[in-house]
Amino acid sequence: MRKFYAFITSSASFGHYFCSNRFTPLLHSPPPPSFIRHFTPPMAAPEDSLRKALADKLSEVENQGNQVRALKAGKADKSEIDAAIEALNSLKLEKASIEKDLQATLSSSEGSGNREAFRQAVSNTLERRLFYIKSFNIYGGVAGLYDYGPPGCAVKSNVLAFWRQHFVLEENMLEVDCPCVTPEVVLKASGHVDKFTDLMVKDEKTGTCYRADHLLKDFCNDKLQKDLNITAEKAKELKHILAVLDDLSPEDLGAKIKEFGITAPDTKNPLSDPYPFNLMFQTSIGPSGLIPGYLRPETAQGIFVNFKDLYYYNGNKLPFAAAQIGQAFRNEISPRQGLLRVREFTLAEIEHFVDPEDKSHPKFAEVAELEFLMFPRELQMSGESAKTIRLGEAVAKGIVNNETLGYFIGRVYLFLTGLGIDNKRLRFRQHLANEMAHYAADCWDAEIESSYGWIECVGIADRSAYDLRAHTEKSGEALVAHEKYPEPREVEVLVIAPVKKEIGLAFKGNQKNVIEALEAMKEQEAMALKADLESKEEVEFSVCTLGKNVTIKKSMVKISKEKKKEHQRVFTPSVIEPSFGIGRIIYCLFEHTYYTRPSKAADQQLNVFGFPPLVAPIKCTVFPLVQNHQYEDVAKEISKSLTAAGISHKIDITGTSIGKRYARTDELGVPFAITVDSTSSVTLRERDSKDQIRVDVKEAASVVKDVAEGVRSWADVWETFPHHSSASADE
């Protein structure tokens, strides 16, 4: 399974938007999505007790049924048989009642039907309004590939523009743009060639491929949600499997698939044993085919290999950050969940290089008072839920490893809520110890709740110095930083020198893993190993990346401390890496801002996307109330003013009723509409409240610009201009 990187593809309220580093609330916020709004589950007994009660009741029904049969076989009195049958029917009614309560409990915990209906409504609207569609649809499409249509492109462009403003400009980052095609040697050094895999199984008759962990996960979820007759112990076992799914070895995963009799979903044919499948798209560079390459699975490696030049560009000073937005590619085995798991997607990644001995951040105080849902590993291990924690407290208590990591967690929170993500459905989950690579100091995922459950959308990891060291070793270029001392210093340095020949003979293909683990030792661990080797000649040594202990002999490594004078400190910087899955964020934003409201006649539900103006694909629409040359001329004049002000807008001079035009643009998430109903002043309508004001024709564009860019709030505009009432706004 893919555990090699912290970010691998497994909330401030609606209506807030960002401008000049401050948030301005809109007057009205959209309601929560319908699967939350309409389906508050009844209070039900805990699942385990209900399952136990149902098992007991089934036993009673069976015993009573046996008694009825025995009475009939023994030709007992009719009255005695009737009484036994009546008792049996009573027990069956009690069993049915418990089943109903259990089904309600399962439905409330998962909300699967509600979620699916909501998801389908959102997806239908998105596809019908061309936010996104399947790629190559006229040829049947290809799983995991999607096209963004005009409104989808606009939303994506606005999200990326805000990302650049919020991170690149605010933090003075160095933005780069590197090729998608990457030579194999680069991805060999980073570990992707050897370890970027998922476990796959094949239909033994048709050859169709499936992700092994997905099949097991679907089986467990299906049994838990639909099989009312499994015992509480069996339910507990299935939940445990779901919790440790990422830790199962190929052998364990295969054993579980066979134990549960899981077959190919489409054909019910038997499945092969699980085996690793590398998720990168392979290619060759040049016509000779002699230079192997891959489409990059992430954008980070382009930054790491350019560290030396970026460090020089930055005046040889730390800390500094480099950023990149670009396409990444992963050849998913069986992509599903729409935009959440695709084969080509946009990543926005930051690599913040920092002195490993000083991970403080000068701007941490700006985010220290933020409070939001955090899910530290201790809460996960104890079975508790995420809790609201103040970020400064989390860093002070060591829940978050250091200030720089904490600072970026805070900035990610502000970014996501600034886009319109609901802070009640946004949490930061800390990686469990078994999820993190051995070199990582700490990792957190920003997870957003959607109809698919909690979705990892941003990974924020302290990756220590692993990446730069890996490329230094492979390329021979020293990717290091320098700190000059005012006076020379005599220092004692730890020297760990693995004997590669001895290790290679002993461990062959695992040589690199063993060497990396030895070199990653801290001083205390290294000196303890040295002492053990001197007394025992060989010791057991844990290699995290292999998941087992190996035997290290005295001849395999030399560990010593040496004194020397240094004029400068040479070190490999640590890296704090926030990595953003843009498509996932956008999909969650679609769900978080979608809602419905009844038409004026209450005969249908109208779809609305409550995008903040910041990300809305179109900021404003311009409608002449009726087809009239004078009104159309005014509409065109306002359109020119909006264009000059840089405000995206749409002009509609058709004769369709104004109510229908409002409904069409509400469905596109357009926050403001100008209706031309005179030649001197116009009506300006706000989408979510449907409130309207009167504005002079010459002021209309500037008012929309100010509100759309957050210079003024709608509440301020509402207080400033005359109100307007019109029945057509509710049509």
Return the HEC string of 26-72: CCCCCCCCHHHHCCCCCCCCCHHHHHHHHHHHHHHHHHHHHHHHHHH
Range 582-588 average pLDDT: 97
CB 617, CB 155: distance < 8 Å: yes
What pLDDT was estimated at residue 296? 96
pLDDT tens digits along 16-64: 333 333 333 344 455 555 444 433 333 334 777 887 888 888 888 888 8
Q: Tell me whether residue 138 is exposed, middle or buried, using C-beta atoms within 10 angstroms of its C-beta: 0 to 12, 13 to 18, 19 or more.
A: exposed
Q: Is the pLDDT of residue 626 over 50?
A: yes
Domain 481-571 grouped into CATH 3.30.720.200: yes
Mean residue pLDDT of the chain comes to 87
pLDDT for residue 324: 98
Residue 555 token pair = 């001849």
Sequence spans of domains, the chain? 45-110, 203-278, 481-571, 599-729
What pLDDT, on the 0 to 100 scale, is given for residue 581? 96
Per DSSP, the residues of 428-462 read EEEPPTTTS-TT-SEEEEEEEEETTEEEEEEEEEE
Residue 50's nearest CA partner among 112, 94, 101 is 101
Residue 694 has pLDDT above 80, yes or no: yes
Do 331 and 223 contact (CB within 8 A), yes or no?
A: no
Q: What is the pLDDT of residues 518-527, one digit of tens each?
A: 998 988 899 9
From residue 11, give the alpha-carbon distance in Å to each of 32, 47, 375, 519, 592: 12, 29, 14, 41, 10
pLDDT for position 10: 33
Confidence of residue 367 (pLDDT cuts 50, 70, 90): very high
C-beta of residue 81 within 8 angstroms of C-beta of residue 64: no
Chain segment 428-437, per-residue pLDDT in tens: 999 988 777 7
Burial track 572-597 (b if 16+ CB lie within 10 A, e otherwise): bbbbbbbbbbbbbbbbbbbbbbbbbe
Per-residue confidence (pLDDT) for residue 113, from 0 to 100:
58
Helix (H) or strand (E) holding 318: none
pLDDT digits (tens, 9 = 90+) for 187-206: 999 999 988 888 999 999 99
d(CA 570, CA 470): 17
What gap in Å lies between CA 274 and CA 255, rounded to an integer? 10
CA 216 to CA 221: how far, in whole Å? 9
- At residue 727, the pLDDT reads 52
Extract the tokens encoding 2: 């893919």
pLDDT, tens digit, 9 for 90 and up, residues 199-242: 999 999 999 999 999 999 889 988 887 888 888 888 888 888 88
- Two tokens, residue 655: 């004769």
108 pLDDT tier (thresholds 50, 70, 90)? low
What's the pLDDT score for residue 415?
Answer: 98
45-110 and 481-571 in the same fold: no
Integer Cα distance of 508 and 502 in angstroms = 10
The separation between CA 247 and the C-alpha centre of its own chain, rounded to angstroms, equals: 20
Give me the pLDDT at residue 15, please: 33
Q: Which region holds residue 565: left if phi is over 0, alpha if psi is between -120 and 50, else beta?
A: beta
pLDDT at residue 359 tops 70: yes
Coil, strand or helix: which one is 286? coil
Handedness of CA 693, 696, 699, 700 (dihedral sign): positive
- The pLDDT of 89-111, averaged and rounded, is 75
Residue 615 pLDDT greater than 50, yes or no: yes
CA angle 552, 556, 557 (to 5 degrees): 100
pLDDT in the model for residue 44: 38
How far apart are the C-alpha atoms of 718 and 27, rounded to whole Å? Answer: 9
pLDDT for 383: 76
Upper half-sphere CA count for residue 275 (Cβ side, 13 Å): 6
pLDDT at 244: 76
- Helices first, then strands: H and E counts in the chain: 24, 31
Does domain 45-110 match CATH 1.10.287? yes
Q: Which letter does DSSP use for residue 289 in this model?
A: -
**CATH number of this structure's domain 203-278, picked from the four choices 3.40.50.10260, 3.40.50.920, 3.30.70.260, 3.30.40.230:** 3.30.40.230
| pLDDT higher than threshold 80 for residue 701 | yes
| CATH, domain range 599-729 | 3.40.50.800
pLDDT of residue 388: 96
Tens-digit pLDDT profile for residues 241-265: 887 787 788 899 999 999 999 999 9
pTM over 0.85: no
**Average pLDDT score over residue span 600-625:** 92
Choose the most confident range, by mean pLDDT, from 405-414, 500-509, 555-564.
405-414
φ/ψ (deg, to 5) at 572: -95, 120
- Please state whether the peptide bond connecting residue 319 to the residue before it is cis, i.e. omega within 30 degrees of 0: yes
